[in-house]
Amino acid sequence: MLKVKLMDVKMLASSILGGIVIALLTGLVPNTPPMFVGATHYGYPWAWLIRLVVAPEYFPWRTDVLNLIGDIIVWAIMVGIILLIVGKARK
């Protein structure tokens, strides 16, 4: 019984860590909708990092924290599903 719970905790931790890593890596991929001019958006499935082209003088980067959290949740769920499928296939 304890071993099953330990595996569940490991899978949950791996899913969350995988979601964070993938969400941060998607911040390297441009995701700018064609109708927006003046900014480059980064992140999938929701753009959470924005670089203003018509930038303020000092710091042109903006972060949308809610979209970042949403991306982490989406990617964590996807990683969890993949880990669950791989775990079932091994048994």
Residue 30's domain comprises: 12-90
Would you say residue 7 lies in a domain? no
Residue pLDDT, tens place only, 18-33: 999 999 999 999 887 7
Question: Distance between CA atoms of 19 and 79, rounded to whole angstroms?
Answer: 7
Preceding peptide of 33 cis, ω within 30°: no
- Please report, rounded to a whole number, the percentage of residues in the chain having pLDDT higher than 70: 92
pTM metric for this prediction: 0.84
Question: Distance between CA atoms of 62 and 51, rounded to whole angstroms?
Answer: 6
10 Å CB burial of residue 37 (0-12, 13-18, 19+) is: exposed
pLDDT at 69 over 60: yes
Average pLDDT, the chain: 87
- Count how many domains the chain has: 1
Would you say residue 4 lies in a domain? no
Would you say residue 50 lies in a domain? yes
Element at 12 (helix H, strand E): helix 2-25
